[in-house]
């Protein structure tokens, strides 16, 4: 599975411009024919315009399904359409949309853990379900940004069957070390590939760190981005999953009766 992470410098409160940026990056990424394209967190609005969030949000993912879904179908590529600020049932969610090669939306996920230090919980509604789906026969899951700090969430996905975890994020530069450490930890402890697509640039007074990363089940870095807008590519060899799981059978050796 060849991945392309679109490390995007989105514009705060400017969804029209952000769609143009996302579409441009998708067009460029397809020159190398990846199997999966990944956008970052809240790429339509940036994270996040408090004063007019509702006016800038999607309406039940309408624009994402139309514009990004059509591109998935046009190119015959799977797209993890990051997450967007999204209104559903008169509530605002931080919602991710996943499209298959036919442009069909096969999964949606509302961010479970909202980042209270930035008052995300005061503007968005928490999600109530986890997210697993299949792309090209491969078991995949998705989490959003702050979710990465909650290992029990990813372990539950892994216990249900998981080969690749996608993390879409808008993680600040000041905590890049945390981002990479937690990404590697989730990969090692769950014996999966983890692809973390972060944003870059500045929104208000916060600098977002870029440094998107793709990690294999041994915790080794397959590809690492810099701090500016770029497209990060890596090939994930699924045969490696069998090797690492046979070498260190952590799921066989678990003691769930104690925890």
Distances (CA, A) of 129 to 72, 143, 153, 250: 25, 11, 10, 26
Q: Which of 42, 58, 111, 236 is catalytic?
A: 111
Q: Rounded distance, CA 14 to CA 178, Å?
A: 29
Q: Rounded distance, CA 40 to CA 139, Å?
A: 20
Strand partners, 230: 7
Residue 48: cis peptide before it, omega within 30 degrees of 0:
yes
Q: Which of 42, 145, 196, 197 is catalytic?
A: 145
Q: Rounded distance, CA 186 to CA 156, Å?
A: 12
Within 8 A by CB and 6+ apart from 236, the residues are: 1, 2, 3, 164, 193, 195, 214, 216, 222
For the question of residue 145 being annotated catalytic, the response is yes
Q: Which two tokens stand for residue 56?
A: 């800038």
Annotated active-site positions, please?
41, 111, 145
């Amino acid at each position: 599975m060849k991945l392309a992470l679109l490390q995007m410098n989105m514009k705060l409160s400017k969804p029209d411009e952000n769609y143009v940026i996302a579409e441009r990056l998708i067009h460029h990424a397809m020159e190398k024919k990846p199997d999966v394209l990944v956008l970052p967190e809240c790429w339509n609005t940036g994270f996040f315009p408090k004063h007019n969030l509702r006016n800038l949000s999607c309406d039940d993912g309408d624009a994402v399904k139309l514009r990004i879904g059509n591109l998935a179908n046009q190119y015959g590529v799977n797209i993890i359409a990051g997450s967007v600020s999204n209104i559903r049932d008169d509530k605002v969610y931080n919602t991710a949309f996943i499209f298959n090669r036919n442009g069909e939306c096969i999964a949606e996920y509302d961010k479970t853990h909202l980042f209270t230090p930035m008052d995300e919980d005061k503007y968005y509604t928490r999600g109530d379900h986890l997210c697993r789906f299949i792309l090209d026969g491969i078991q995949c899951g998705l989490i959003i940004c702050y979710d990465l700090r909650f290992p029990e969430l990813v372990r539950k996905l892994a216990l249900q069957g998981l080969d690749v975890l996608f993390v879409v994020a808008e993680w600040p530069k000041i905590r890049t070390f945390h981002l990479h450490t937690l990404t590697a930890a989730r990969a090692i402890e769950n014996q999966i590939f983890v692809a973390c697509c972060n944003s870059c640039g500045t929104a208000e007074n916060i600098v977002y760190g870029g440094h998107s990363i793709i990690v294999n089940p041994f915790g080794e870095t397959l590809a690492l981005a810099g701090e500016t807008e770029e497209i990060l590519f890596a090939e994930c060899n699924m045969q490696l999953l069998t090797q690492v799981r046979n070498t260190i059978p952590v799921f066989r050796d678990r003691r769930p009766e104690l925890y």
